[in-house]
Structure 1
Amino acid sequence: MSTPRRTITSVLTGALTIALVVLLPRAVGTSWSTVGTLLGHLSLPAIVLLAAVWIAGLWSHSFVLAASLPGLTKRRGLTLSLTGSAVANVLPLGGAAGTGLNFAMTRRWGFGPAAFGGFLAVTTLINVLAKLGVVAVALALVPIANTATALPIGRTSLLLIPVLVALAAVAWFLASETAPVTAGRALGRLTRGRTRLERSLPALRTSVLGVFRRGWRPMTAGMLAYLLLQLALLWLCFQLLGTSLSLPVLITGLAVERLLTLIPITPGGAGVVEVGTVAALVAMGGDPAAVTAGMVLFRGFTYLLEIPVGGVTLALWLLANRKQAVAA
């Protein structure tokens, strides 16, 4: 992307994010002053408790990352998660920039491009499957929880179609030995790199399958723990503000939040995620002010706090590498 187009994209996405956040309370019939009053009642011990649950969730996810790249420690996995998220949450289409940063960091730690390619494929697939799993649970609860207004099956299915098509393509790629060769030929015609892709894609398939066979247990346990801690964080955000929501409603809210993060319109889904999730929870009977305050608090940890914490983590990593280079 050229510099002028990148600048225009940054300005537009930034303006859209600010507009969505500013108009969030009005969209559901409340105001920022009311929301601020609710948030002002939070005590320091409550904030510390929320931070502890948030950190525990990130630590659980580091098990997934460590198992996806054999030889990666959980501490370094947490470092990748925080720094990559910080970049992705700030820049328009920042996922690519976060991936580039993580690639540079793993190269510094001695991992090759092929290992990182397998790591990226595995973690992306697991994250998408986890989000779709939460959506599937929420849809299964629709008949008994009366949440069809917030998560209508028909409209949700339309949003899931491109994701499900991509997952079907991944399943075909992994299940068939001829699939990587076929895909390499097709992509090679488009990118003029046919021979290289025909060699690299079968190797990528072998690497991904090997990672899954060795690490599916810690990946599964880590992702389940992460999702449960995310649900616990969401529940605490409402509970500490004096709002009680039923478990099916909370799961539906988390499903909407997870689903909207798959749509990278703004950095980290900022604005889009909050408006969509709050609207869904209000449609299920939640109080507009309480729901807005709870969601702002939740996203304050899962989105906003990742930026400074990830930035500090990146600065410490750069400083440590500079000291190593000077010592060498």
Structure 2
Amino acid sequence: MSNTVVGGAAIALGLTYGMNSSWGFSRSRTSVSLLVSGLWNNFAKLGLPVVALVLLAFAGQPSAGRLLAGVAGVAGLVAVLGALALLLRSRDGAARLGTFSGRVASAVLRPFGRPAVQSWDRATVKFRDRTVLLLRARWHWITLATLVSHVSLFVVLLLALRFVGVSSDQVGWIEALAVFAFARLLTAIPFTPGGLGVIELALITGLSAAGGARAQVAAGVLTFRALTYVLPIPLGLATYVFWRRNRSWRREPNTAPRTELVPETA
């Protein structure tokens, strides 16, 4: 959904809540999973340019644009980590954040004749507690899964480039990683659905500047995007149809099995 229409990420978010609810998961459990996975995904997007910059520095090939991407990654990573630390540092801090957020939300809703929101402080504390439990127990697996996701995308790009004839003498894997990291950093801001057009432009421009023949680079990038952007669309549609038709996995709301990471009853 997020790959096909403007604002698709918001629609996909609602669909995720709907699917998880149909399997018995509460909204709070879904919120925790979405927040943590989203944060770790952005950690990778922000941190990858830093890794690429370090590798380029050792290879003796840094440039002004790559330095800028690395600095932007460091700044964004520090900002996100700081916000996460403020949320998770203490229950009182989470409660204050929830109260403030509730006041802002109520002020936004007031002109539309909607009632003020209630109990956001308690909800934020509960959200914080569950997030802390999850990260303490599973942070390493979450990190590993995130790294595998991003590295596998880069491997697909590198193989696509080699398949169409862009050799390592033209564009080395470190240079390809730097361009890929910068392109992924751009997707942190959803300019277009799935970064359509933005990623292609960034990859083709960057890889061509690194030494690849523009026609071959374009072919490799389009092959990469066909595999990682176009192919998931029909697969996603098929899984959506399966979810709508399959009833054997359905549960009543908030009846999913409890675990040691979800001690509450709601």
Coarse TM-score class (shorter-chain normalised) = 0.7 to 0.9
Higher RCO (CA-CA < 8 Å; seq separation 6+): 1
Equivalent AA in structure 1 for residue 165 of structure 2: G
Shift of residue 324, structure 1, vs aligned partner: 7.4
Match of 1:217 among 119, 124, 140: 140
Q: Distance in 2 between matches of 1:125 and 1:288?
A: 35
Partner SS state of residue 130, structure 1: helix
Alignment CA distance shift 1:145-1:110 (3 Å): farther
Across the aligned residues of Structure 1 and Structure 2, the Cα RMSD in angstroms comes to 2.3
The 5 A counterparts of 1:129-278 are: 129-143=43-57, 144-148=59-63, 151-154=65-68, 157-158=71-72, 161=75, 164-192=78-106, 193=116, 195-244=118-167, 245-278=171-204
The 5 A counterparts of 1:5-20 are: none
Match of 2:223 among 297, 301, 308: 297
More deviation in 283-292 or 97-106? 283-292
Q: Distance in 2 between matches of 1:226 and 1:138?
A: 17
Match of 2:20 among 106, 128, 138: 106
Partner SS state of residue 25, structure 2: coil
2:4 is equivalent to residue 90 of structure 1: yes
More deviation in 282-291 or 176-185? 176-185
More deviation in 112-121 or 315-324? 315-324
Match of 1:318 in 2: 244
Instruction: Work out whether residues 2 and 193 of structure 2, in 8 Å CA contact, stay in contact via their aligned partners in 1.
Output: yes
Equivalent AA in structure 2 for residue 248 of structure 1: I
Alignment CA distance shift 1:324-1:221 (3 Å): closer
Q: Distance in 1 between matches of 2:123 and 2:83?
A: 17
1:279-314, CA deviations, whole angstroms, 9 ceiling, x for partnerless residues?
111222221111111111111111111111111111
Match of 1:285 among 203, 211, 215: 211
More deviation in 98-107 or 139-148? 139-148
Instruction: Work out whether residues 164 and 216 of structure 2, in 8 Å CA contact, stay in contact via their aligned partners in 1.
Output: yes
Equivalent AA in structure 2 for residue 301 of structure 1: L
Equivalent AA in structure 2 for residue 294 of structure 1: G
Could you tell me which runs of 5 or more consecutive residues in structure 2 were left unpaired when the two chains were aligned: 107-115, 252-266
Partner SS state of residue 178, structure 1: helix
Shift of residue 253, structure 1, vs aligned partner: 2.1
Q: Distance in 2 between matches of 1:215 and 1:249?
A: 33
Question: Whose helix fraction is larger, Structure 1's or Structure 2's?
Answer: 1
Shift of residue 158, structure 1, vs aligned partner: 4.9
Match of 1:20 in 2: none
Q: Distance in 2 between matches of 1:155 and 1:241?
A: 27
Could you tell me which runs of 5 or more consecutive residues in structure 1 were left unpaired when the two chains were aligned: 1-86
Equivalent AA in structure 2 for residue 188 of structure 1: G
Match of 2:254 in 1: none
Instruction: Work out whether residues 185 and 194 of structure 1, in 8 Å CA contact, stay in contact via their aligned partners in 2.
Output: no
Shift of residue 159, structure 1, vs aligned partner: 7.4
Runs of 4+ in 1 over 4 A off after TM superposition: 158-164, 322-325
1:15-57, CA deviations, whole angstroms, 9 ceiling, x for partnerless residues?
xxxxxxxxxxxxxxxxxxxxxxxxxxxxxxxxxxxxxxxxxxx
1:40-95, CA deviations, whole angstroms, 9 ceiling, x for partnerless residues?
xxxxxxxxxxxxxxxxxxxxxxxxxxxxxxxxxxxxxxxxxxxxxxx000110211
1:233-270, CA deviations, whole angstroms, 9 ceiling, x for partnerless residues?
11110111111231211211220221121120110110
2:34 is equivalent to residue 120 of structure 1: yes
TM-score normalised by structure 1 residue count: 0.67
Instruction: Work out whether residues 47 and 73 of structure 2, in 8 Å CA contact, stay in contact via their aligned partners in 1.
Output: no
More deviation in 295-304 or 227-236? 227-236
The 5 A counterparts of 1:16-55 are: none
